[in-house]
Amino acid sequence: MEKTKALVTVIEMARTGLGFTPADALDHIATLIAQEDAESAFYDRRVEELLRLGACIWSLRRDIVMPR
């Protein structure tokens, strides 16, 4: 799926309530990390990207509960 189509689909899913909750999203990211092949040449990069995505979700979730 091309990047623009992916972003449009994400927005449409969010608007219709089809997204994960922040907690479920973090849990799913942990599952995706666990499924990564540690022997892959791309393991470190892919895991870092997933961890950064998780950190973003955590920050957004925290800011909703405790705005700065």
Max CA distance (Å), the chain: 41
Is 7 domain-assigned? no
Is 57 domain-assigned? yes
Per-residue pLDDT band for 68 (boundaries 50, 70, 90) equals low
Q: Is 30 in a helix, a strand, or coil?
A: helix
Q: What is the pTM of this model?
A: 0.82
Q: What is the residue range of 31's domain?
A: 20-68
pLDDT at 5: 97
Is 4 domain-assigned? no
Q: What digits encode the pLDDT tens for the residues 12-51?
A: 999 999 999 999 999 999 999 999 999 999 999 999 999 9
Is 27 domain-assigned? yes
pLDDT at 67: 63
Q: State the Cα–Cα distance between residues 23 and 14, nearest whole angstrom.
A: 15
Is 43 domain-assigned? yes
Q: What is the number of structural domains in the chain?
A: 1
Is 3 domain-assigned? no
| Cβ-Cβ contacts under 8 Å for 1 (sequence gap 6 or more) | 9
Is 25 domain-assigned? yes
Per-residue pLDDT band for 62 (boundaries 50, 70, 90) equals confident
